[in-house]
A and B are shown apart, each in its own frame.
Chain A
Amino acid sequence: MRYVDYVKDQIPCILTHIISMLGCLAFLSAARVNNGIIEILIAVWFLVAFVYLNTRYFFRNRYFKRLLSMLDHLDQKYLLSEVMDCPARADDQIYYAILKASNKSMLERVSQSGREKKEYREYIEQWIHDIKTPIAAMQLIYENNKSGLTKKLLIELEKIRNYTEQALYYARSDTVEKDYLVKEIVLSDAIHKAIAENKQLLLQSHAAVQMENCERIVYTDEKWISFIISQIISNAVKYSEEVPSLSFQAYSERSRVTLCIQDNGIGISESDLPRIFDKGFTGKNGRDSQNSTGIGLYLCNRLCEKLGIGITVTSKCGQGTSVGLDFPKGDFFEVRE
Chain B
Amino acid sequence: MDRIMLIEDDSVIREELSILLQSNGYEIVLPDSFTAIFEAVRRYIPHLILLDINLPGQDGFQVCSKIRTFSAVPIIFVTARNTDMDELNGIMLGGDDFITKPYNTSILLARIASLFKRAYPSKEKDVMAYRGVILHLESSRVEYQAQLTELTKNELKILAFLFRNAGRIVPRADLVEYLWDNQLYIDDNALSVNMTRLREKLRQIGLTDFIQTKHRQGYMI
Contact = CB atoms under 8 A, between A and B. Distances in A.
A290 interface: no
Contacts of A202: 180
B160 interface: no
Size range of the chain A interface in the assembly? 20 to 34
B39 interface: no
Interface string B153-192: 0000000000000000000011011001101010110000
Nearest to B81: A129
A18 interface: no
B134 to A, nearest CB: 29
A144 interface: yes
A133 B80 contact: yes
Interface stretch (B9-17, B42-50, B59-67): B9-17
Given A132-B80, A144-B23, A223-B82, A199 B104 contact: yes
Interface residues of B, number: 33
A179 B83 contact: yes
A181 B173 CA distance: 37
A202 B181 CA distance: 12
B127 interface: no
Contact of A132 (B20, B85, B101): B101
A140 to B, nearest CB: 4
Interface stretch (A24-32, A204-212, A311-319): A204-212
B103 interface: yes
B185 A195 contact: yes
Interface string B14-33: 00110110010000000000
A203 interface: yes
A278 interface: no
Contacts of B17: 140
Interface string B131-144: 00000000000000
B81 to A, nearest CB: 5
Given A144-B20, A223-B84, A210 B185 contact: yes
B149 interface: no
Contacts of B85: 179
A120 to B, nearest CB: 18
B183 A136 contact: no
Given A161-B102, A203-B180, A140 B13 contact: yes
Given A161-B102, A192-B183, A206 B188 contact: yes
Interface string B82-123: 111101100000000000111111010000000000000000
Nearest to A208: B187
B102 A211 contact: no
Contacts of B19: 140, 144
A143 B185 contact: no
Nearest to A134: B12
B206 to A, nearest CB: 35
B80 A137 contact: no
Given A136-B102, A137-B10, A199 B177 contact: yes
A135 interface: yes
A122 to B, nearest CB: 12
Given A133-B101, A181-B84, 13 more contacts: A136-B80, A136-B101, A139-B102, A144-B19, A144-B23, A161-B102, A181-B88, A199-B177, A202-B180, A203-B180, A206-B188, A210-B185, A223-B84
A133 B101 CA distance: 7
